[in-house]
Structure 1
Amino acid sequence: MNKKLLGSLLVAGSLLSANEVNSVEKMFTEGKVNANVKYYYIQTDKDFASAPSTSANANSLGGKLTYETAQLKGFSAKATFMTTNAFGLDGSVDTSILGKDNGVYYNDPNRADDSFSVLGEAYIKYTYDNLAFTFGREVMHSPLIDAKEVRMLPSAVEGAFIDYKLNNEIALGFSYLDKFKQRTSDRFTNIVEHALGADTMAVTGSDNGNVYMLDGIYKTDALEVRAYEYYAPDFMNSIYVDAKITHKFDNVATTLAAQYINQMSVGNADDYFAANPTYADGKINVNAFAIKATAKIDESAFTLAYSNVLRDEGSHDSLVLPWDGTPLFTNMITSNDLFQSIYGSALKADSVYIGGSQGIKMAYAQGFDFTGYKGFSTTFSFLNTTNSRAGFDKDQRDYNVVLGYKYDTHFSLALKGIWVDNNTGADKDGSVTQIKQLTQYRVIANYQF
């Protein structure tokens, strides 16, 4: 993309500003620019029971540049330029902060090592009272279609969006989603093709498809209830519901939460899976639930969570998450480690997301402002995942440690250590494999302008 075109797109797009202006000139002169610069280092070591161990690493420098206009007669726009640039690559490369998805899409491992830039957001928005219409590309946050901003860049979608705020407690939404950009890609690919890859035509009867999303949120100080439906014709229908109760007294806050997820293949896909039971281990029929309790006391937080993806032999019972959603309360840093959101990998799964998996997670987070060393924090998490299905021979155990530091609102640093015993993955046909040990280290420095 040449500089002139990029400049035009950046000026042409932006999110709604809080201030209404009265001229086209002011719409742009009173717009806002923000940016971040991120450094990311990652090293991943894998120890196999019957194969040589592997080690891969990468350094990348990149970030985002956003321009957003002020609002004129309800209209506004936004554009975000995103980039990730590798340097100091040596030996085997961990492509999960570079172009891993590009490598799979083009069937070219060399493309996975490449740096890339992309216009990740570019949309026009019209707001009237409590109703907003948006058209274009945007970074979306929802349980099953998410930005997954834990690597260099977020994922994004393209489509049309309607949001309506009924009152201070109730918000409703409808989205028509046509394309998806995975976090390690510079392409906006048809959203259903991204999920199924080369098998899209065989499974759905078409070489592309769409997702229609409905959502509703009810929120008060003490109670929050969220409901989402994601319908992809001739592929699958997904329903997500959660509820959270919060109680505060003095310096203590407690939260109890529950969630439920249902997924079923529909239309042509349902017929295809039934006629080809070995392709995906049967029709998609997923039921999962989880519960979570959290207690916060000043700068300390304790979390206990349990999840269960119900086993349904003869069906594809693992959660189908091709669009970077990692919704379970027991999710860990290494959960869904690019298995499902890579091009064509929708029917793969790992750890707590595999059908039959039960997970118990414990976490402890601590801030240290009370010591006078402001901005420092630590988080310790542990997850034990059990499953009786063939191949899941040993419990998977995840240990995550995060050391964090924040200086005002601009600079943050995170050091992450990840250790996984018996890291487990399931292929689309339900077959399970385990890695003896996965170890990963990350250094993430971010400066926000």
Structure 2
Amino acid sequence: MTSQTSKIHVRLTEGRFQNLRRLISWPLLLAFFGLVWVQVDGQPWLLFDFTQRRIVVFGSYFSWQDLHIMTGMMIAGAALLFTLAMAWGRVWCGFACPQSIWTWLFLRIEHWVEGRAGVRARSDHLPLKGQRLLRRIIKHGLWLLLALVTGLTFTGYFVPIREMVMQLVTMEASLPLLTWLLCMTLLTYLNAGLVREQICLHACPYSRFQGVMMDDATRKVSYDRLRGEPRRSSENPNPAAAACIDCTLCVQVCPTGIDIRDGMQAACIDCGACIDACDQVMNKTAQPTGLIRFASEKALRGEASRLWRSKLVGYLLITLVALFATGYGFVSKKELTAEIRRERGELFRWLSDGQLCNFYHIKVEGFDPTLTQVQVTLLNQPELQLYGPEYLPLDNRGDWVAYRICTASPQVSTLPLLVQFTANKTVLVKKSSFITRTISG
């Protein structure tokens, strides 16, 4: 991998891959900044609600006991990522990764405020004063503003954004919330504005293990050495020498600062910027495009390269199985959960009124806003009496409520218990046991 010690001034370019990247990234940006504001019947459409211990996904409510569904989604996403890497390299990184998307946004701001990459590179040694200082202040101010909006939006998926904005406007926001917003703002500012390519070079684990998933049939951004070498230059002006004119535009437009002509490198995110820049040069020099292109090692050697291989099919099957399991989880999700725990210590206790009692703690949570309270009843045990609140509020605070179940005529064996929880049309039955004292004959 090419080491990078100096600051990278990325030159912006145009082309079909940059258009494709925008076609993918802009809908993702609109979804990220827009969905957080969407409400249905007064409820957020997407929310990880820690206070109510539930997850709202497109209007559907999930409990924290449904986290296996989220696990299935993550497995499906990882398997899909492996499928893409096996087929086309790190196209996720180049076209849809949040780090890349926000880096390009910050680069656009830098280009708009301080000028083209060449101008910025030439002015690096100049004193930071006057108009140059003003432009630098404006750039970092816009970076911080975008980072703040990003932090607010991200936090809005965990705290209802309308309530959060109102708290900030009225200066009633809590210290933990302000601290979190500050951290998210600074992290976005550092990652996309100051650190940038260092995340891809050193922090991203994907670049380290991508080679395990790829093989010589994987299509990735590649330089055709057979066609491009030896490069034309002022020392070698022969037009028949090779296609590459050593203009270094492929290096100048690379967001991680590598030279694709050095071969496959862990820092390459397969964004296609070097392809667009090189194709423009090929058009200007009246040569066929594709000196840099998405190609496999086999294709570069002139060998047949199949897209579908056994490993790729395996990754795809894992993706489909995980998606099927996740879909089943969505269908079988729970709207009401309940837990029953016996009180520690005594198995039973005699009370002064002659009743034998077992003591329990019950916790009930509802994950549909239409469920406001739940009725607690015993089933099929007429000789047992339940003592405790008949109705519990579904405020999802996670409180355990004390109950006792008693009988005036203890039996010689342990009795099975069926406790029914009813909230509107939702009915849940949980099992437990009632322990009695053995009576000697």
TM band (smaller chain): under 0.3
Greater fraction of residues in helix? 2
Q: Which has the higher contact order (CA 8 A, sep 6+)?
A: 2
Bigger Rg over Cα:
2
**TM-score of the two chains, using structure 1 as the length reference:** 0.20
TM-score (norm: length of structure 2): 0.21
